[in-house]
Amino acid sequence: RIPWQVPARTRNRNIITDLKMQPKKQLRVHASPDLDKLLKTWEVRGERDDWIRCLQSQLPQQLWTHQNTLTNYQVWVAYRMASQQLNLHYEGERPTDGCLLAQDVTAGKVTITHITWGCERVQQFWSRCVEHWLGHEISSSRLEAYKSYISSRVAPPVSDRMRRVLLECYGKWNKDYEDALGRIWWSLCSMGYALLWQIRNQVVHEGKKWRAPQQLEHMWASCLRQISAVARSERNKPATRTNGLRLQLTLDCYVAITIEAEPPDSPPAPAPWLKRKESALIKRLRKFQEAIN
């Protein structure tokens, strides 16, 4: 029960504010015991799964941002993925179902990590994103090196080939183009999450069938179409016209880059946030827990 009263010394102008804060304080007190359990669950999962740990390397404000690019649904999926709140259960579920999308009964229990990374069809999409980023083919073993960059939505180092392509097309390379590429990477990852979750729900709840090439082309075309729409919208506004034009020019180079054979060069170094003992999201939740105790 919430005591709808304030201390006698409270100023008149602060009474309404204090009354509004009381339900929040009560909710925080009741939530404290459950936070202990949640933190332990996240820590155990993060230790076992790098994909989850990198998802949780983002702070809440980073997970909720849309950068004038994402829909509310896409932001919601990204946040729910990081906080492990997507519901995987469905009516008629059987332990032997495996991955219904790829018709793989050997996949075992399907998790968020499998839906967004482990499935062979999913890796085809991420491979295409990385190949256009690098300008050459990429093997499944080398794709693993980009896993942390995909799950954290942070762009890997820009390849020398991409720099050369932009220089040849537009005569210069600067940080603005690098920022535009980073925005494209962030958008592809965010949109990819939402599309994968949407396709999974269509298969599980509606019985829809997706062929592997059909799914790949659908996801690729949907992402590019949305980013192009964002660039076009920004070009139509005087305040963002330059950013919109640069985003479209960079996207054109990203899409049109010729995919060459895979070179023998080494993959990028592991993302620095993998070395941290505690992910940013867990650290933020722990601070919140300490504040309400």
Residue 232 is part of which domain span? 85-271
Q: Which of 100, 81, 82 is nearest to 90 (CA)?
A: 100
How sure is the predictor about 3, in pLDDT bands with cuts at 50, 70 and 90? low
Asked whether residue 76 is assigned to any structural domain, the reply reads no
* Tokens 């396709």 found at: 199
What is the predicted pLDDT for the residue at 100? 83
CA–CA separation, 47 and 40 (whole Å): 11
Asked whether residue 234 is assigned to any structural domain, the reply reads yes
Asked whether residue 41 is assigned to any structural domain, the reply reads no
What is the predicted pLDDT for the residue at 293? 63
Asked whether residue 57 is assigned to any structural domain, the reply reads no
CA–CA separation, 14 and 168 (whole Å): 62
pLDDT greater than 60 at residue 140: yes
Find out whether 268 and 146 touch, Cβ atoms under 8 Å: yes
What is the predicted pLDDT for the residue at 187? 97
Asked whether residue 80 is assigned to any structural domain, the reply reads no
| pTM for the full predicted model | 0.85
What is the predicted pLDDT for the residue at 147? 93
Q: Which of 186, 207, 182, 210 is nearest to 196 (CA)?
A: 210
Q: Which of 78, 54, 82 is nearest to 197 (CA)?
A: 78
Asked whether residue 249 is assigned to any structural domain, the reply reads yes
Q: Which residues contact 116 (CB under 8 A, 6 or more apart)?
A: 51, 81, 122, 151, 192, 193, 196, 197
Compare 217 and 264 and report the one with higher pLDDT: 217
What is the predicted pLDDT for the residue at 47? 84
Asked whether residue 53 is assigned to any structural domain, the reply reads no
The torsion angles phi and psi of 17, rounded to 5 degrees, stand at -60, -45
Number of separate domains in the chain: 1
What is the predicted pLDDT for the residue at 105? 62
pLDDT tens digit sequence for 13-68: 888 888 888 777 776 776 667 777 888 888 888 888 889 988 998 988 999 999 99
Asked whether residue 50 is assigned to any structural domain, the reply reads no
